[in-house]
């Protein structure tokens, strides 16, 4: 029995596309995701999730095709495997005005949007939603996606995280430093809408970006959105330790999750934060039956629609020249710019033989699957929580049915055990999850609060913010 004071958090892990994670399931007659371009599907789902007291709706996203950028992409189009896909950032506007408490998380990689424009879009969404927006910070995984933004191929893995460091530095300056508290006046009698003396240009000059500012939106309820991060490589973990408030993992077992969580939290301490400053969300899918036998029968029915071809295409690994590795290639021989963390997990999850590339697809298909009665599922979630997991990203099989079934059958059992919240806490998303609407003072973005006010810094500090304007690199 878990501590009733520690309910797990639950996000719906979705994507604005037909075939996101569970490939082949779109062919089922109850799979509403075939009409993912219909905004009513998403509005109805968001309202269902809010009624069920899910914490957030978490949208994945990509900006290009998987696999070899020069190869035929027929398999992706045939399966609707993340092509076609639509922009989640635009969709969040509709969901924000259709819900009241549900968090709304978007994925945006550092190559796809200039930080000035991105900061403005996110602040606008945070205003529209009254403080319920989260950003999943990613660095991209596809060569085709890199080419779509003028690059010859995906930037080196370590360099992408250096890029991300400057990117977040720019948006932190805009969100946290450009507007002082009290700058938005709205004084009709004196005719002052905003106090210019409390609004500042940031004059960022770095390796990739020159941004003058000021930030055009006034501070939103959270200023900085809740910060998710999904990298599991060594570079990704160090980035998460410095910046993330919530980290999305898909570990193949609670024990492997425990090791990653403990390591990342230790890195956070080394970066001047506390272990509890970062929460961890494990991705899991659920097959639910009133009896174990019924659940296994349902699993066999789900497997009837599984597309192994789709899973292999999704998990395609490319070498440094962009060519796809053969599925029989040993993982130890892989040299790639992507999925390094998951390759490490796959190696740990196959201890009895030499793991190969195909194992990555098999793990994607089955390792995150939980099959059983609601009570058995609750027992399994207790194990994940004991490993240090704070929440679950629920992966659907079909929309909206997977989430409706989870809400109807599993959440009541979880609530009876104190494993799921009964009601939403008040306030913006960060306040609901961490008790305050703003980032705590230990987060690196907090450095920029008041940093651009003329009376708040020395000339040397101002020069430092202009030339490079970077936070000290934490190792």
DSSP per residue over 262-280, as a string? HHHHHHHHHTT--GGG-EE
Rounded to whole angstroms, the Cα distance separating 77 from 110 reads: 26
Of 61-70, 168-177, 275-284, 349-358, the poorest mean pLDDT is in 349-358
> What is the three-class DSSP state of 184?
strand
Q: Could you give the CA distance from residue 453 to residue 214 in angstroms, rounded to a whole number?
A: 12
Across 160-164, average pLDDT: 94
Res 131 pLDDT > 90:
yes
Q: What is the CA angle 49-54-55, rounded to 5?
A: 130
Strand spans (E) along 148-224 = 184-187, 192-194, 204-205, 210-211
**Whole-number pLDDT of residue 474:** 33
Give how far Cα 21 sits from Cα of 219, 308, 313, 349, Å. 36, 12, 11, 20
Q: Are strands 184-187 and 133-138 parallel, antiparallel or unpaired?
A: unpaired
Per-residue pLDDT at 288: 98
103-109 vs 56-60, strand pairing mode: parallel
Mean pLDDT of 445-465: 71
Query: What is the mean pLDDT of the segment spanning 365-375?
Result: 89
The mean per-residue pLDDT over the stretch 423-432 comes to 98
Other residues' Cβ atoms within 10 Å of the Cβ of residue 359: 22
Does 181 score more than 90 pLDDT?
Answer: yes
Integer Cα distance of 286 and 368 in angstroms: 9
- Sign of dihedral through CA atoms 443, 445, 448, 449? negative
Pair type for strands 192-194 and 184-187 = antiparallel
User: What angle (nearest 5°) sits at the alpha carbon of residue 288, between those of residues 287 and 291?
Assistant: 130
pLDDT of residue 272: 97
Indicate the average pLDDT of the chain: 91
Query: In angstroms, rounded to a whole number, what is the distance separating the alpha carbons of residues 475 and 470?
Result: 15
Residues 6+ apart with CB under 8 A from 214: 174, 178, 179, 199, 200, 201, 202
For domain 9-306+368-466, say whether CATH 3.40.50.620 is its number.
no
The pLDDT, as a whole number, for residue 341 is 58
In the predicted structure, residue 148 carries a pLDDT above the cut 70: yes
Whether 468 has a pLDDT exceeding 60, the answer reads no
Span 338-343, mean pLDDT? 59
**pLDDT for position 13:** 98
In this model, does residue 399 exceed pLDDT 70?
A: yes
Q: Is the pLDDT of residue 471 over 50?
A: no
Alpha helices in 139-291, H assignment, sequence order:
143-147, 157-172, 234-243, 254-270
Confidence of residue 128 (pLDDT cuts 50, 70, 90): very high
pLDDT number for residue 40:
98
């Amino acid at each position: 029995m878990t501590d009733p004071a520690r309910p797990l958090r639950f996000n719906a892990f979705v994507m604005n596309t037909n075939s996101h994670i569970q490939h082949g399931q779109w062919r089922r007659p109850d799979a509403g995701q075939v009409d993912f371009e219909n905004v009513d599907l998403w509005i109805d789902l968001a309202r269902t999730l809010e009624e069920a007291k899910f914490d957030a709706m978490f949208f994945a996203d990509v900006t290009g095709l998987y696999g070899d950028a020069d190869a035929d992409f027929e398999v992706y189009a045939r399966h609707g495997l993340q092509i076609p896909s639509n922009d989640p950032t635009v969709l969040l506007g509709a969901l924000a005005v259709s819900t009241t408490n549900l968090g709304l998380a978007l994925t945006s990689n550092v190559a796809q949007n200039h930080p000035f424009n991105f900061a403005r879009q996110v602040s606008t969404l945070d205003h529209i939603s009254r403080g319920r927006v989260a950003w999943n910070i990613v660095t991209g995984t596809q060569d085709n996606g890199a080419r779509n933004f003028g690059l010859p191929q995906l930037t080196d893995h370590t360099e992408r995280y250096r890029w991300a460091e400057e990117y977040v530095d720019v948006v932190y300056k805009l969100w946290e430093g450009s507007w002082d508290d009290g700058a938005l006046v709205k004084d009709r009698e004196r005719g002052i809408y905003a106090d210019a003396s409390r609004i500042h240009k940031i004059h960022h000059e770095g390796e990739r970006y020159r941004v003058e500012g000021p930030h055009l939106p006034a501070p939103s309820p959270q200023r900085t959105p809740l910060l998710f991060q999904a990298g599991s490589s060594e570079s990704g973990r160090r980035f998460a330790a410095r910046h993330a408030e919530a980290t999305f993992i898909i570990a193949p077992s609670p024990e492997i999750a425990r090791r990653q969580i403990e390591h990342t939290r230790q890195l956070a301490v080394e970066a001047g934060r506390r272990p509890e400053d970062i929460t961890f969300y494990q991705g899991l899918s659920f097959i639910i039956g009133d009896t174990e036998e019924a659940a296994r029968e349902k699993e066999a029915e789900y497997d009837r629609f599984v597309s192994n071809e789709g899973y292999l295409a999704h998990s395609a690994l490319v070498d440094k020249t962009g060519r796809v590795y053969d599925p029989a290639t040993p993982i130890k021989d892989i040299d790639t710019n992507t999925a390094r963390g998951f390759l490490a997990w796959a190696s740990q999850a196959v201890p009895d033989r030499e793991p190969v590339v195909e194992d990555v697809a098999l793990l994607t298909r089955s390792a995150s699957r939980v099959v059983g009665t609601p009570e058995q599922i609750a027992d399994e979630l207790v194990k994940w929580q004991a490993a240090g997991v704070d929440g679950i990203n629920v992966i659907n099989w079909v929309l909206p049915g997977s989430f409706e079934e989870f809400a109807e059958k599993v959440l009541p059992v979880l609530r009876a055990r104190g494993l799921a919240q009964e009601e939403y806490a008040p306030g913006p998303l960060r306040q609901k999850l961490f008790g305050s609407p703003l980032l705590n003072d230990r987060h690196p973005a907090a450095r920029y609060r008041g940093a651009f006010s003329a009376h708040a810094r020395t000339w040397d500090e101002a020069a430092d913010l202009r030339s490079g304007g970077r936070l000290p690199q934490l190792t």
